Structure 1
Amino acid sequence: MLNLITHDAITEINMTRPPVNALNVDLLRAIRDAVDNAVAGGARGLVLSGMPGMFSAGVDVPSLLGRDRDGVRDFWREFFLTCSKLATSPVPVVAAITGHSPAGGAVLSLFCDYRVMADGPFRIGLNEVQVGLVVPESIQMALRRIVGSYRAERLMVAGAMVESAEALAIGLVDELTHVDQVVTRAVAWMQVMLALPSNAMLRTRTIARADLTAIWAHPEKLPINEFVDAYFHPETQAVLEKLVARLKKKD
């Protein structure tokens, strides 16, 4: 489910849940544990990566559809806890976006300090609206601080997915490189950060991310019940069921 790779003072948390790194409770918990263990072990920077061609396809919708309300709430709680873990990490985190990154995959990248994406016909975006899901304020805020309010509105309301070149142009990602070099470039950026005077860099980073951490430091206070209510809206359920049916036809 995860490969942990050491690059000197940098730990790469490599998602390896075939076939598309879909996010389920086990993977989300594993990412959080990996962050905690890496930091406790002395890592000064983290890289979150995926498989060539696919960073993460987002939420494992087929497994989620079979859950009752408590089960769905538990899943989204785990998802928000993982977002919080990345947002409040005491060390910098780079998202090595090794390919497609829709929905939940794109969301995880928002909480990282920097985003390196594979150049080419790879798409990224918060396409939740297209599958009937509401984007909560806490996630909207994370996108706004990266691309600006109006651009974030247009992307989220339409559920837009954009290719890597457009993602770079609008600031959704910071850098493009060949798919085989994404992790290499992510590690290189982190090495530059870690070469800076650490106290100054980390304290300045804390100040710069204060708006993000103010919301995400206490994920238990987020309105998860409202999000779950929206998830069980009949329209949302109908759209998600059609999505799962299409996925089964591809298998």
Structure 2
Amino acid sequence: MNYKREVIDIPNGKGEIIRFQMNDQNSLTGQNMRDLGEILNEIKADNSKRGVILTTDNPKFFCNGLDAENLLSTSRDKLIDEVGGIVILFGELVKFDKPLITEVTGHAMGGGAVITVASDFKYMLDGKGRIGFTEVNVGLPLPGSFIDRIKMCVDPRYWAEVCLEGTTYKGAEAKKIGLVDEIAPTPEEIRKIALKKLETLSKVPQAAYRATKNTLNGALIAHLEQYKKDTTKSFEQPGVVDNLLEAMTALKEKRRPVFK
């Protein structure tokens, strides 16, 4: 199973802790992204569930983005379905109108950073793990939906380095620029912070929380379909697919990519 689900008791109902266990780097494929979207929609429809914590027991990787092996084994005409899956998952995360909390206890690159910023509250381990939108560094244009969300939380002075350079940040650095909300020295402390926040949010009237969250994210949600179309168009630009495959091959071969 790609995800381990644990139901917990919280004030006024239940919560869920969803642990990522996709593979050794918790990397993303079209299928496991669809699986997570389905889980979130199931919880969204269950009135007894008041919120979700996303986490992992993997000590090194929270989520290391798109799976290189999977992309390299996918035919070129199907690549957009795999790569575009993160845009669709991002939409499901943003439309999940109950409390969504992320514990970043390891590296969160590319898709891992996307999942993080799509959450309402983001807590990161103050350790060796890094977080960053590394899409441009593997030849992928950063989707507009991700950029809109980055602008909602990151200090404007850092938009360029986050989006255009694919800069990666340790916990304290990520907190400084607004990419995460809080840091803690141990996974146990991260869990305490996350549970306390989930318990606090569960006391807010559910209808009010959900309506307000949908309004908060309303402008972004309204443009999701257009952003999906834009992503498909950007994928068709000359060199994008070749550069992506070169980046994935270089990652597999543990060398620097040579882009066109």
Which of 34, 37, 51 does residue 32 from structure 1 map onto? 37
Shift of 1:173: 0.3
Which of the numbers 205, 208, 211 marks the counterpart of 2:216? 208
Provide the rounded CA distance (Å) in 2 between the counterparts of 1:214 and 1:5.
32
Aligned identity (percent) is: 24
C-alpha displacement at 1:219, in angstroms? 6.8
1:111 to partner: Cα distance: 1.0
Superposition deviation, residue 77 in structure 1: 3.4
1:15–1:219 CA distance, 2 compared to 1 (3 A): farther
Alpha carbons 1:120, 1:163 under 8 Å: kept: yes
Amino acid at match of 1:17: M
Residue 200 of structure 1 aligns with an amino acid whose one-letter code is A
Counterpart residue type for residue 213 of structure 1: I
SS in structure 1 opposite 2:180?
Answer: coil
- In the TM superposition, 1:4-153 aligns within 5 A as 4-8=5-9, 9-41=14-46, 42-50=48-56, 51-153=58-160
Report which of the two has the higher share of helix. Answer: 1
Matched residue type, 1:122: G
Larger CA deviation: 189-198 vs 231-240:
231-240
Name 1:195's counterpart in structure 2. 203
Q: 1:35: Cα distance to partner? A: 0.8
Label 1:3 to 1:148 Cα distance change in 2 as closer, same or farther (>3 A).
same
Assess, with a 3 A threshold, how the Cα gap between structure 1 residues 35 and 53 changes in structure 2: closer, same or farther. same
CA distance in 2, matches of 1:11, 1:21: 19
Rounded to whole Å, the distance in 2 between the matches of 1:209 and 1:179 is 29
Tell me the equivalent position of 2:236: 229
Instruction: Give the TM-score normalised by the residue count of structure 1.
Output: 0.89
Distance across 1 between alignment mates of 2:209 and 2:99: 10
CA distance in 2 between counterparts of 1:155 and 1:220 reads: 19
CA RMSD of aligned residues (A): 2.1
Secondary structure at 1:173 match in 2: coil
Code of the aligned partner of 2:38: D
Contact 1:99 1:179 in 2 (8 A): no
Structure-1 separation of matches of 2:23 and 2:167: 25
Superimposed CA distance per residue, residues 130-150 of structure 1 (whole angstroms, 9 cap, x where no aligned partner): 222221222111111111444
- Counterpart in the other structure of 2:4: 3
How far residue 151 of structure 1 moved from its aligned partner, in angstroms, is 1.3
CA shift for structure 1 position 123: 0.6
Q: Is 1:163 paired with 2:170?
A: yes
1:88-139 CA-partner distances (Å, limit 9, x unpaired): 0121211111211111110111111110111122110111222222212221
CA distance in 2, matches of 1:53, 1:204: 35
Task: List structure 1 segments (4+ residues) > 4 angstroms apart after TM superposition.
Answer: none
Instruction: Work out the CA distance in 1 between the residues paired with 2:245 and 2:211.
Output: 44
CA contact (8 A) 1:73 1:228 kept: yes
Aligned letter for 1:55? Answer: F
Contact 2:60/2:105 (<8 A) preserved? yes
- Matched residues, number: 246
Give, in whole Å, the separation in 2 of the partners of 1:40 and 1:202: 12
Shift of 1:22: 0.6
SS of 1:80 mapped into structure 2: helix
Q: Distance in 2 between matches of 1:234 and 1:54?
A: 27
Counterpart code for 1:5: E
Q: In terms of mean alpha carbon deviation, does 70-79 or 198-207 score higher?
A: 198-207
Looking at structure 2, the residues matched to 136 and 206 of structure 1 have their Cα atoms a distance apart, in angstroms, of 21
Change (3 A) 1:199 1:147: same
Q: Which runs of no fewer than 5 residues in structure 1 stay unpaired?
A: none
Distance 2:149 2:94 in 1: 9
Measure the CA separation in 2 of the matches of 1:182 and 1:62. 31
2:25 alignment partner AA: V
Give the structure-2-normalised TM-score. Answer: 0.86
